A = this chain, B = another copy of it.
Amino acid sequence: MTIRALEQALADFAAERDWEQFHTPKNLAMALAGECGELLELFQWLTPDQSTHVMDDPRQAQRVREEMADVFAYLLRMADVLELDLEQAVVEKIESNRNKYPVHLARGRADKYTNLGEED
């Protein structure tokens, strides 16, 4: 399914349950952040290395999968309600970041672009 088709499926799901009344952008932003909080909880006590192997355990993998689906679902729902083209927004963001983070300055550095002019 395309991003657009997923948005439509979620819109239909909400409409069938008369949930549009709850789905204001404000409420959806909260729900999105709430699901991110649940995702954080799956990773909070893991070492970085353990986190890279989180999908090796089927129970953990399923939890990660479900929380990421919840995050994505609310993001899609919010984009639909705001009539915002998520795909186009990411494409533009990549272009913008290409200018903010030129390869010769950003290579191997986790600094914010506003600090990239500085000496290490």
Copies in the complex: 4
In the assembled complex, how far is the CB of residue A79 from the closest CB belonging to chain B, in whole angstroms? 6
If over half of A's interface residues share one DSSP class (helix, strand or loop), that class is named, otherwise mixed; here it is helix
A89 close to B103 (CB less than 8 A):
no
A97 close to B27 (CB less than 8 A):
no
How far is B108's CA from A16's CA once the two chains are assembled, in angstroms? 9
Residues on the B chain within 8 Å of A22, using CB: 45, 110
In the assembled complex, how far is the CB of residue A82 from the closest CB belonging to chain B, in whole angstroms? 6
Beyond A18-B108, A69-B92, 10 additional contacts (C-beta under 8 Å) are: A13-B94, A25-B51, A26-B43, A26-B51, A33-B33, A37-B37, A52-B81, A55-B83, A68-B84, A73-B94
